[in-house]
A and B are shown apart, each in its own frame.
Chain A
Amino acid sequence: MSRKKAARSKGGGAAPSAALPPAAQGPGRAAAAGPRGSATAPELPRNGGAAAGRPSLSSSGEFYDLAFKVMLVGDSGVGKTCLLVRFKDGAFLAGSFISTVGIDFRNKVLTVDGVKVKLQIWDTAGQERFRSVTHAYYRDAHALLLLYDVTNKASFDNIQAWLTEIHEYAQQDVVLMLLGNKVDSAQDRVVKREDGEKLAKEYGVPFMETSAKSGLNVELAFTAIAKELKHRSMKLPNEPKFKLHDYVKKEVRGSGCCRS
């Protein structure tokens, strides 16, 4: 489309050094910014050394062993920021809708199997005019959480378009998860759980339904991603392979009375 063309031409040749994290982060930085450009060569395993070294200090003053970039994407108004705030601060942003401007960047350190994992979370604006900015950050992302709103059919229909975009811009081995948000509003639901599951299966993507309002599965979504990324980067020889799909299936909880 014309707009894209105009916006992208400015992107031009981007210096790969641009995305370096603060130098003070020490050993952890290798994890945060692996060499880019070679999407085929999985870069995460190189970070194995990071865990063995001295823990790094994140900008918020917390120590961590590994750092990964996670991006939240999806249509405007599906609840990306709310999901993040629920995860980060355990609160729900009630009241009027505030749309994110550009990209919002926050950190959260999780402990996964005794390893401190720092998630650098990019909360993106869903609006079309910010697409060119978000595109630029896709390729740095280690994981993507793709959201739709179960009370908004259009946001679900757009998932395919988002997947196409992800395919085009993100790394090939990016960890991807589909989330159907806002399941607390049961009366307004227009996208059935089965529809989400079906679509996810079609694309081979793990899927769960979430609610930023009630907190359902929010922690799980981020933890599952952190686990997967951690396992990928520090593969121990005798450890069984971590299967994200199975983990999600086992841990996920339903929105209604019947727990799965």
Chain B
Amino acid sequence: MAADVHKKKGWEVPNGSLAPGDGQHTERSESPTPGLAQGTEPGAGQEGAMFVHTRSYEDLTSPEDGAAAARSPEERRGEPAEPSSMEQISKDFSELSTQLTGMALDLEEEMRQSKEGKLEPSPQTTRRDSVLSGKEEEDVTMDAWRMHRKHVFVLSEAGKPVYSRYGSEEALSSTMGVMMALVSFLEAEKNAIRSIHADGYKVVFVRRSPLVLVAVARTRQSEQEIAHELLYIYYQILSLLTWTQLNHIFQQKQNYDLRRLLAGSERITDNLLDLMAHDPSFLMGAVRCLPLAASVRDAVSTSLQQAKAKSLVFSILLSGNQLVSLVRKKDQFLHPIDLHLLFNLISSSSSFREGEAWTPICLPKFNSSGFFHAHISYLEQEMDLCLLLVSTDREDFFTVSDCKRRFQERLRRRGVHHALQEALRTPFYSVAQVGIPDLRHFIYKSKSSGLFTSPKIEAPYVREEEKERLLGLYQYLHSRAHNSSRPLKNIYFTGPRENLLAWVTSAFELYICYSPLGTKAGAISAVNKLMKWIRKEEDRLFILTPQTY
């Protein structure tokens, strides 16, 4: 149905977000290399991008989500950016009220705390109890339930539970009632509740009529980032129902129990929350590619491109949350968020492993009012290679299924099958390949292509909590770099167990993690070397020539 596809060129606002127009004059003098103009950085596509142009989650939080969080003034580590339009929003009265409750985030202190009392639950104060009242009626698992680092709740405006990360929604209905009461209480005063900060907890509210999303977290994430995750949950729900349908339902019946329509999707939402805690893709608002020789990738893309059908909009080949190839219809751009939702859908269910699935799916950033129809299948059972064909026509199963067959045939004829299999055996590269001894890990994102690259997380980040801690540090740097009132360009962070450096320009974002014994000068020379290495490897790590049908 062609009506489902709208050209949404309006998204490509040339410079709609916070980042200044060109990187040159905002570079610090001590910057390791001269700023690269956007589009020329390593990893930038040579023939245009394949995604809707996005920089990072500023896109998520503005302008649609205009009320981006403005944190209380914090100690600054870098230079302030140029004043932006977002700062005007901070005049918003509601934000002033949030600032009053804002506790300055001192990471060092927080880290010390978390080290000392890693597994101890924080003392439960009366304040929190009043916020979370109702939990007392919960069953024996109450303590365990409280111990979770992050809770996520979704409720309707009538206060009806829609989703809870942990525990049954029924048992939490009174808690959700309290949440709704808090929201309504402030709204009655023409105000909006955004967050409550107490006792190491952040309670973050995101209001997306007809839903309210609430997170109760004691992670090190900023309020902005937690809100960003809640938005992902909101988009996840839209991808199942469409915005149109969701609104229609609640217009008809305000107290509708949405769980009825979302039945069976809890796993998908749970999986999304798990993924966000482990995968930097969501933080970066970008997509990671499977490292693959350019010639192989080109052959795959061409095969994909040739196996087209009228109703196809996107053909996507992926392997374990990494992109192998993406072919799109001319003038149609996929948003990284939509691609993340597709990745999540596929990784959350093993039911796609066999047979061919055909399912309606809404890509909320592309068009939140209609369904696409996705054909999902694995190329071979033992191979972690999933093909996703997005069609506009519900009736087109057999045509699209035939596209898959044609694609496989072409792949075989081109003889890249073996090379592809070989690449799948090592889906992540080692940081040792870069050849910088002190370098432990890095994340590099090319802004113009919306792609990022990152090596495997290796020792000393072996245990799950260590990996999460590393991601937490990146999250912290990211939140400082993208703070909507005071974005930073360069951050040098010295920690007890590692040193980190963040460098954000209009063309790219780079976060590196290296040995705690390394020096600042060493880090800067590492950045130089790393950038050269990425440039050298870019045709393997990125998709430089995105294809259209």
Give min CB distance, A123 to chain B, whole Å. 7
Contact A104 B356 (CB under 8 A): yes
Given the complex of chains A and B, what is the CA–CA distance between A72 and B393 in angstroms?
A: 22
Using a CB-CB cutoff of 8 Å, which residues 217-257 of chain B contact chain A?
Answer: 240-242, 244-245, 248-249, 252
Which residues of chain B come closer than 8 Å to A111, judged between CB atoms? none
Using a CB-CB cutoff of 8 Å, which residues 125-175 of chain A contact chain B?
Answer: 125-130, 132-133, 136-137
Which residues of chain B come closer than 8 Å to A21, judged between CB atoms? 398
Does B349 sit at the interface, judged by CB under 8 A?
A: yes
Does B4 sit at the interface, judged by CB under 8 A?
A: yes
Given the complex of chains A and B, what is the CA–CA distance between A7 and B245 in angstroms?
A: 8
Contact B351 A105 (CB under 8 A): no
Which residues of chain A come closer than 8 Å to B4, judged between CB atoms? 10
- Contact A22 B398, CB 8 Å, known A99-B264, A102-B360, A105-B356: yes
**CB contact between B398 and one of A3, A10, A18, A132 (< 8 Å): that residue:** A18
Does B370 sit at the interface, judged by CB under 8 A?
A: yes
Using a CB-CB cutoff of 8 Å, which residues 3-32 of chain A contact chain B?
Answer: 3, 6-7, 10-12, 14-15, 18-24
Does A110 sit at the interface, judged by CB under 8 A?
A: no
Does B433 sit at the interface, judged by CB under 8 A?
A: no
Specify the chain A residue showing the minimal Cβ separation from B361.
Answer: A102
- Contact A14 B350, CB 8 Å, known A102-B359, A128-B261, A133-B359: no
Give min CB distance, A109 to chain B, whole Å. 15
- Contact A22 B401, CB 8 Å, known A7-B245, A127-B264, A133-B394: yes
Does A2 sit at the interface, judged by CB under 8 A?
A: yes
Contact B345 A18 (CB under 8 A): no
Which residues of chain A come closer than 8 Å to B398, judged between CB atoms? 18-22
- Contact A23 B263, CB 8 Å, known A101-B351, A105-B397, A133-B360: no
Does A76 sit at the interface, judged by CB under 8 A?
A: yes
Contact B351 A3 (CB under 8 A): no
Does B402 sit at the interface, judged by CB under 8 A?
A: yes
Which residues of chain A come closer than 8 Å to B265, judged between CB atoms? 127
Given the complex of chains A and B, what is the CA–CA distance between A76 and B267 in angstroms?
A: 14
Specify the chain A residue showing the minimal Cβ separation from B260.
Answer: A128
Give min CB distance, B387 to chain A, whole Å. 14
Given the complex of chains A and B, what is the CA–CA distance between A64 and B398 in angstroms?
A: 18
Contact A104 B240 (CB under 8 A): no
Does B399 sit at the interface, judged by CB under 8 A?
A: yes
Specify the chain A residue showing the minimal Cβ separation from B240.
Answer: A129
Does B371 sit at the interface, judged by CB under 8 A?
A: yes
**CB contact between A3 and one of B261, B371, B405 (< 8 Å): that residue:** B261
Contact A10 B371 (CB under 8 A): yes
Does B103 sit at the interface, judged by CB under 8 A?
A: no
Q: Which of A15, A101, A104 has the most CB of B within 10 A?
A: A101
A-B contacts at CB below 8 angstroms, number: 117
Given the complex of chains A and B, what is the CA–CA distance between A57 and B371 in angstroms?
A: 33
Given the complex of chains A and B, what is the CA–CA distance between A85 and B355 in angstroms?
A: 10
Chain A 205-248 interface 0/1 with B at a Cβ cutoff of 8 Å (1 = within): 00000000000000000000000000000000000000000000
Contact A6 B245 (CB under 8 A): yes
Does B262 sit at the interface, judged by CB under 8 A?
A: yes
**CB contact between A12 and one of B1, B262, B374, B402 (< 8 Å): that residue:** B1
Give min CB distance, B313 to chain A, whole Å. 15
Number of contact residues on A: which range applies? 35 or more
Specify the chain A residue showing the minimal Cβ separation from B374.
Answer: A102
Which residues of chain B come closer than 8 Å to A123, judged between CB atoms? 355
Which residues of chain A come closer than 8 Å to B249, judged between CB atoms? 2-3
Does A103 sit at the interface, judged by CB under 8 A?
A: yes
Does B492 sit at the interface, judged by CB under 8 A?
A: no
Contact B360 A22 (CB under 8 A): no
Does B357 sit at the interface, judged by CB under 8 A?
A: yes
Contact A23 B402 (CB under 8 A): yes
Given the complex of chains A and B, what is the CA–CA distance between A23 and B355 in angstroms?
A: 19
Does B354 sit at the interface, judged by CB under 8 A?
A: yes
Does B396 sit at the interface, judged by CB under 8 A?
A: yes
- Contact A19 B402, CB 8 Å, known A10-B1, A105-B355: no
Given the complex of chains A and B, what is the CA–CA distance between A76 and B265 in angstroms?
A: 12
Contact A22 B355 (CB under 8 A): no
Which residues of chain A come closer than 8 Å to B359, judged between CB atoms? 101-103, 125, 130, 133
Give min CB distance, A8 to chain B, whole Å. 10
Given the complex of chains A and B, what is the CA–CA distance between A24 and B404 in angstroms?
A: 13
Does B395 sit at the interface, judged by CB under 8 A?
A: yes
Does B352 sit at the interface, judged by CB under 8 A?
A: yes
Contact A104 B393 (CB under 8 A): no
Given the complex of chains A and B, what is the CA–CA distance between A167 and B4 in angstroms?
A: 30
Chain B 356-370 interface 0/1 with A at a Cβ cutoff of 8 Å (1 = within): 111110000000001
**CB contact between B358 and one of A14, A102, A129 (< 8 Å): that residue:** A102
Contact B395 A98 (CB under 8 A): no
Does A59 sit at the interface, judged by CB under 8 A?
A: yes
Q: Which of B264, B358, B373 has the most CB of A within 10 A?
A: B264
Can you report 11 A-B residue pairs in the complex whose CB atoms are below 8 A from each other?
A6-B245, A22-B402, A23-B402, A98-B349, A98-B350, A101-B345, A104-B354, A105-B401, A106-B354, A127-B261, A130-B360
With A101-B352, A127-B261 known, 16 other A-B pairs at CB within 8 A are A10-B3, A15-B395, A18-B393, A18-B395, A22-B402, A22-B405, A23-B402, A76-B263, A98-B267, A98-B349, A99-B349, A104-B354, A126-B264, A129-B262, A130-B359, A136-B395
Closest 3 CB pairs of A and B: A102-B359, A18-B395, A99-B264
